[in-house]
Amino acid sequence: MLSLSLPLRRSIAALSKSSSGGISSVKFLPLKSRLLYSNFSSSNYRRPINNETISNDDHATSSLPHTHSLSNGRLKHRLRQGLPLTGVVTGQYRDTDHVEMLGLMGYDFLWADCEHSTASPDHVLNLIVAAERRGIPTLVRIGYGYQNIIGHTQKYMVAGAQGILLPQCESRENVKRVVEAVKFPPLGLRGLAGERWNAWGMARRTQQRLSTALSIAECVEEANRHSVVGVLVETRHGLEALEEILSVEELDLVFIAPTDLSSDLGLHGLIRHPQVLQLVEDTVNRIHRYNQEMRINGKGWHPVSVGTLAVSTDDYVYWRDRNVNVLCGVAQCMFVEGAKGFMDAVKEYEDKDDGSG
């Protein structure tokens, strides 16, 4: 069990009490599930689900050496169950401290962005290692145009990503390419070797304090079961092909990206424009209807999670009320909001002081 230093405890207390003029990222914490700072392991913290109690055995199982977040399958489970998840998009690949802080604050996953950044697989590797240190998985959004280059995608999986997010998805074939890159045979075409996700062949499973080595075959089975396939639908062409996209069995998440969607509509950057909001909401409803139809048909289909952007807590509440279960904040926006709020408060105070003089 990690013992928090006095300065860190004071920092956490200050963050918990911060107002809108303080560090705003705390406001993105999931509404029904807060981080229990007094009861976590530094190597693989698992946040409580609602009022769930985590026993010491749970921590002993998930926090031993040679354990990658892929092994517990929590992210995949919550996606498949349509449960709430909160992530953060970051392209700030030269700073890993903020990634660890996000893990300590209780976010569910990191979204490493390689589309709107110059990050290479080496850069993303550092983000993944930092995230794993604090027990949160990483999903990597690859750059647009890489749909047909499986080897490129695999570099991020080798680095330890739990899954891949494909931008500009517009067809079933696009989704299948991601499945081929993320999954091992027979589900996909991913190449097999000793890598971070399987502890370079030294992976172990521990239950009731009994540790046993995992074979490569067991690791592959676990990876195929727990790895994540997600796509971004962000054009009208993609929306037209939505049912076709949803038909790929291994798909876990459809993220409706409002920024590019606004651009495609000629409303560049107006992500809260009524036309954009309505189109996103209509797409959310289409996904839920599709899930319901597949459930009624009794084909054993799992629900596909639906996500979108939440650059403020108002966004979070708005979309949760409309049955979006995956919401992502943006690290850059969090920094700007916090820094701007602080400077606004400084200027207000100094202007008042100047007036009284």
Tell which CATH architecture fits domain 23-356: Alpha-Beta Barrel (3.20)
The mean pLDDT value of the chain amounts to: 83
Q: Which two tokens stand for residue 285?
A: 């409803």
- Under DSSP, the state recorded for 198 is G
Q: Which two tokens stand for residue 303?
A: 């629900």
Q: Count CA atoms within 13 Å of residue 41 on its CB side.
A: 20
Q: What is the pLDDT of residues 40-98, one digit of tens each?
A: 333 333 444 444 333 333 333 344 444 789 988 999 999 999 999 999 999 999 999 99
Parse the chain into domains and list their residue ranges: 23-356
With contact defined as beta carbons under 8 Å apart, do 163 and 230 qualify? yes
Nearest to 45 by CA among 91, 109, 88, 139: 109
Q: What is the pLDDT of residues 225-256, one digit of tens each?
A: 999 999 999 999 999 999 999 999 999 999 99
With contact defined as beta carbons under 8 Å apart, do 311 and 333 qualify? yes
Question: Rounded CA gap, 155 and 171, in Å?
Answer: 23
The neighbour count for residue 37, using CB atoms within 10 Å, is 16
Query: What pLDDT sits at residue 148?
Result: 63
Q: Which two tokens stand for residue 266?
A: 């000629």
Average pLDDT over residues 127-146: 92
Q: What is the Cα Rg of the chain in Å?
A: 21
Q: What is the pLDDT of residues 191-227, one digit of tens each?
A: 999 999 999 999 988 777 788 899 999 999 999 999 9
Q: Poorest-confidence range of 60-69, 173-182, 289-298?
A: 60-69
Residue with tokens 């893990």: 103
Question: Rounded CA gap, 58 and 60, in Å?
Answer: 5
Question: Rounded CA gap, 356 and 35, in Å?
Answer: 43
Question: Rounded CA gap, 159 and 193, in Å?
Answer: 12
With contact defined as beta carbons under 8 Å apart, do 201 and 216 qualify? yes
Q: Which helix (H) or strand (E) holds 155?
A: helix 150-159
With contact defined as beta carbons under 8 Å apart, do 178 and 166 qualify? yes
pLDDT bracket for residue 32 (50, 70, 90): very low
- Kindly tell me if the per-residue pLDDT of 29 is higher than 80: no
pLDDT bracket for residue 296 (50, 70, 90): confident
Q: Which two tokens stand for residue 51?
A: 């009022």
